[in-house]
Amino acid sequence: MKNILKLEEMVMLALSIYAMILFHADWWWWLLLLFGPDISLFGYLAGNKTGAACYNLFHHKAFAIAIFIIGLSTKIDPLQLTGIILFGHSSMDRMLGYGLKLKEGFKFTHLGIIGKK
């Protein structure tokens, strides 16, 4: 992936960390939920198409933003934090080259094939 895109994702990850600070969140939230979206990988047990759909739902930034906005509008702090962390997690994954998945299999992403240089 181009370095400018990696830099952009790094800035979004930093933004999510800054948001956690602004919300005076306990850091155990970050540790608890940072790798939570990766539970969606279990969808691959039902096949590539289901796995990709599960993974993409929990790694889509629009989903993270929607969760955050719902939490903000309802004043439900855990939803706000979940949205922030989902956003940061997605940025971290993309910074590392893990994009949204295609139905062909886990290593096929919208950023290219994982591991191929």
> Residue 37 belongs to what H/E stretch?
none
Question: What digits encode the pLDDT tens for the residues 79-117?
Answer: 999 999 999 999 999 998 888 899 998 888 888 788 766
46-79 residue pLDDT tens = 999 999 999 999 999 999 999 999 999 999 999 9
The tally of domains found in the chain comes to 1
**Which pLDDT score, from 0 to 100, does residue 1 have?**
54
| Section 17-28 average pLDDT | 89
Strand partners, 54: none
Look up residue 106 and give its DSSP letter.
E
0.75 exceeded by pTM: yes
Q: Which of 9-13, 35-39, 69-73 has the lowest mean pLDDT?
A: 35-39
- The closest of 13, 18, 38, 17 to 94, measured between CA atoms, is 13
Q: In which domain, by residue range, is 42 found?
A: 3-113
